[in-house]
Amino acid sequence: MTRPDLAKLWPLPALAIAALLPWLPGLPAFWVTLANYTGISAIVAIGLVVLTGIGGMTSFGQATLLGLGAYTTAVLSKDYGLSPWLGLPAGLIITAAGATLLGAITVRLSGHYLALGTIAWSVGLYYTFANMDLVGRNDGINGIPPLEIAGHPLLDSRAMATVIWIGVILAALITNNLLDSRAGRAIRALKGGTIAAASFGVNTARTRLLAFVYAAVLAGFAGWLYAHLQRSVNPTPFGFYPSIQYLLMTVIGGAAHVPGALLGAALVTLVNDRLQDLLPRLFGARGNYETIVFGTLLIAALQWAPNGLWPLIARLRPRRHPIATNAAKLPARPMPAPGTPLLEVVALRRTFGGLVAVNDIAFTLNAGEILGLIGPNGAGKSTTFNLITGTDTPTAGHVRFQGHPITALPARAIAALGIARTFQHVKLVPTMSVIENVAIGAHLRGHASPLAGLLRLDRAEDARLYAEAARQLARAGLLAEADRPATSLPLGQQRIVEIARALCLDPVLLLLDEPAAGLRHAEKAELATLLRRIRAEGVTILLVEHDMEFVMGLVDRLVVMDFGTKLAEGPAATVRQDPQVIEAYLGSIE
C-alpha cells in the first residue's frame, strides 16, 4: 500500500558508492586522502551527535578515546604480531570498557562539571600515553602493519577509503537505528530534561552512560581505522586540541543531526586544506594565517547558522512516522477495584531551608476517582506532586501506593508501578515530533535492548509502541498533529500531548498539573470529557488546576492547600462553602 520509503533505502546505494567511488579513474589521489581523513573524523563526530548534540553532554575527550582504540590495535598488531582485524574487536572492547569506567564517573557529573570532567581524564590519559613505555611514550608506535584482505595489504589510499567509508555509512546507519529505537528515544528524551525522562521510567544515569559509551565506541572504531591508515600513533593527535576539532565539526555541521556530522567533518577538513593553498597565494608565504582565518570563519559561520549548517540545507522536518495499524496491542495492567484506597499520603513534609513548602499534608485517593488539589500560587501543590512521583524527596512523612511504601523510590521505579504525570511547565522534547514524544510514555512497556535497536531486531515491538502512542494521541484528538515538532503546537495542546504521553504508560494513577491552562473553552470541555472517559476505564486521577469552573464540574472530591498546609478536604460542593477556603482565595487575589 505504501511506496518504498526512500529514507530507509539510502544505505545500499551509499555503501555501493563508498565501495566504488574511490576507484573512479582519474579521481585525484589527494581527494581520496582527504576523504579518508574526513571519514575518520565523521565517525567520531557521529558519536558526538549522540553524546553532545542529542544527549546534551559536552565532551572534550573524544580524541583521547580515539587514541584508546588506535593504541590497542597498534600494540596488538605491531608488538604482538596479531592480525589488524583482531585489533578491531579488541579496540572496541578496550574502548567500551575504558569508556564504561570513565563514563560511570563522568555521566554523574552535571552540566559544566561534566565538560571539565572530560577535559580532566583526557589530559590525564594524554600524559599517561606520553609517559608509558608500552605505547612508546612520546614517540609512539610506528610501522603499524596495514589491514590485509586475503593476503593483500591495503596500502592503497583508495582501498582504505573503501573500508573507511563503509565504516562511516555503517556508523550512520546504526546511529539512525539507535535514535529511532526505544533506547534512542530515551537518549533524545534527555533533551527535555532528566526529570521528565525519569518520570516515564527512563533510567537517566544508565541512558547517559549508554550515550557516552556509544560515542566512545565509535571513536574507538575511528581510532582503529586511524591506526591502520596512518600506520603510526603517538600522543599528539589524541590531545585536547584534536578533541575540540571534533566538537567544532559536530557543532558547525549541526550538532543534533547525523548528516550534520558528515557535513561538519567534510567542511572542516576541506576548508583547512583549501586555506593551506589559498592563503599563501593571497598573503605570501611568510606569515601563518590559517588558524586566524579558520577561527574567523568559524565565528562567522556560527553567527549565520547558530544551529549548524545541516538544518539550513535540509529545512528540517521530522520524518513522517508510519503507523502499523495492525500491530498487536500492548498488554495492559489490571486496574484496582474502584473505591479501594489507592494512594495514601501521610504527614508529608518538605522544607527548603527555613521555608516549609509542604506542611504535613495528608489525604487518601481512592481508585477510580478524580481528586482535585487546589490552592493559590505557591501553596505547595506542584511540590506535593514532585514528592509523590519521586522527583523530589520529602523531609518527613510517607506515601503508600496500593499499600506499598513508595516514599524512598526513585521516579522511574514509581513510574513502573503505574503512576504517570504531566508537568506544570510543559516538558516535551523540542527536537522530537509529537508522536515520538508520546512514545516515550510507553518506554516501560517495551523491553528491546539498545543492541536490538542498533541491529533493527526491535521493529515488531517498536511498531506496537508506536501503535499505542497513535491510539493515545487519537484519544486526545491530536493524531492529525502526530508528525509535527512537539513544541510547534500551541501551549494548551502541548499539555494535551503530555496527557497522551502519560496515558501511554498505561497508568493506574494519573497526576495532572494544570492540564487546562491555555485551553480555549471548547477545548476544556473536550478535555473534561476525555478525563471522564479515562476515569470510566478505571484510571484514578489527581488533578492540580486553577480553573475553578473546570475543576468543580469534573472532580469527585477536593483537597485545598494554602502555604503548604491542607485547609480543607471533601466533596467539591462542601469545600466550596468552607469559609477558610473562601478566605484563602479572596485573601490572595491572583
Contact positions with other proteins (CB under 8 A) in 420-479:
none
Contact positions with other proteins (CB under 8 A) in 160-199:
191, 193-195
Among 8, 152, 274, 317, binds other proteins (CB under 8 A): 274
* Binding range to other proteins, per CB under 8 A, among 1-9, 244-252, 360-368, 457-465: 244-252
Instruction: Give the whole-angstrom CA distance, residue 123 versus residue 437.
Output: 38
For cell 552540566, the residue is: 111
- The residue (of 114 and 489) whose beta carbon lies closer to other proteins is 114
Measure Cα distances from 158 to 19, 141, 428 in Å: 9, 24, 46
CB of 298 to other proteins, least distance (A): 3
Q: Residue 235, interface with other proteins (CB under 8 A)?
A: yes
Answer for the pair 498, 409: CB distance below 8 angstroms, yes or no. Answer: no
Answer for the pair 200, 188: CB distance below 8 angstroms, yes or no. Answer: no
Site string for other proteins, 68-87 (x = CB under 8 A): --------------------
Answer for the pair 51, 212: CB distance below 8 angstroms, yes or no. Answer: yes
Instruction: Give the whole-angstrom CA distance, residue 576 versus residue 553.
Output: 12
3-class DSSP assignment, residue 41: helix
Measure Cα distances from 106 to 141, 221, 491 in Å: 29, 21, 35
Answer for the pair 421, 511: CB distance below 8 angstroms, yes or no. Answer: yes
- The residue (of 63 and 371) whose beta carbon lies closer to other proteins is 63
- Beta bridge partners, 356, equal 351
Q: Residue 589 has which C-alpha cell?
A: 487575589
Among 110, 340, 577, 580, binds other proteins (CB under 8 A): 110
* Binding range to other proteins, per CB under 8 A, among 268-276, 352-360, 377-385, 401-409: 268-276
Among 64, 234, 384, 433, binds other proteins (CB under 8 A): 234
Q: Residue 230, interface with other proteins (CB under 8 A)?
A: yes
Q: What are the DSSP calls for 244-294, one per residue?
A: HHHHHHHHHHHTT-HHHHHHHHHHHHHHHHHHHHHHHHHH-SSS--HHHHH
CB of 386 to other proteins, least distance (A): 12
Q: Residue 30, interface with other proteins (CB under 8 A)?
A: yes
Instruction: Give the whole-angstrom CA distance, residue 329 versus residue 168.
Output: 37
Closest CA to 309 of 384, 380, 253: 253
Q: Residue 24, interface with other proteins (CB under 8 A)?
A: no
Length of the chain: 590
Q: Which residue blocks in 395-547 are alpha helix, DSSP H?
A: 411-416, 434-440, 450-454, 459-475, 491-504, 521-536
Site string for other proteins, 113-132 (x = CB under 8 A): xxxxx-xxx-xx-xxx-xx-
Total residues interacting with other proteins, rule: CB under 8 A: 86
CB of 425 to other proteins, least distance (A): 10
3-class DSSP assignment, residue 404: strand
Among 143, 334, 354, 579, binds other proteins (CB under 8 A): 143
Answer for the pair 173, 48: CB distance below 8 angstroms, yes or no. Answer: no
Among 16, 29, 332, 396, binds other proteins (CB under 8 A): 29
CB of 269 to other proteins, least distance (A): 9
Q: Residue 364: in which H helix or E strand, if any?
A: strand 355-366
Answer for the pair 185, 428: CB distance below 8 angstroms, yes or no. Answer: no
Rg (CA), the chain: 28
Among 155, 337, 408, 455, binds other proteins (CB under 8 A): 155
- The residue (of 289 and 563) whose beta carbon lies closer to other proteins is 289
Query: Alpha carbon 234 to chain centroid distance?
Result: 34
- The residue (of 286 and 521) whose beta carbon lies closer to other proteins is 286
- The residue (of 126 and 165) whose beta carbon lies closer to other proteins is 126
Among 18, 37, 171, 185, binds other proteins (CB under 8 A): 37
Q: Residue 316, interface with other proteins (CB under 8 A)?
A: no
- The residue (of 167 and 235) whose beta carbon lies closer to other proteins is 235
Q: Residue 403, interface with other proteins (CB under 8 A)?
A: no
Contact positions with other proteins (CB under 8 A) in 46-65:
52, 56, 58
- The residue (of 271 and 469) whose beta carbon lies closer to other proteins is 271
Contact positions with other proteins (CB under 8 A) in 283-312:
285-299, 302-303, 306-307
Q: Residue 315, interface with other proteins (CB under 8 A)?
A: no
Answer for the pair 337, 367: CB distance below 8 angstroms, yes or no. Answer: yes
Q: Residue 277, interface with other proteins (CB under 8 A)?
A: yes
CB of 53 to other proteins, least distance (A): 8
- The residue (of 107 and 551) whose beta carbon lies closer to other proteins is 107
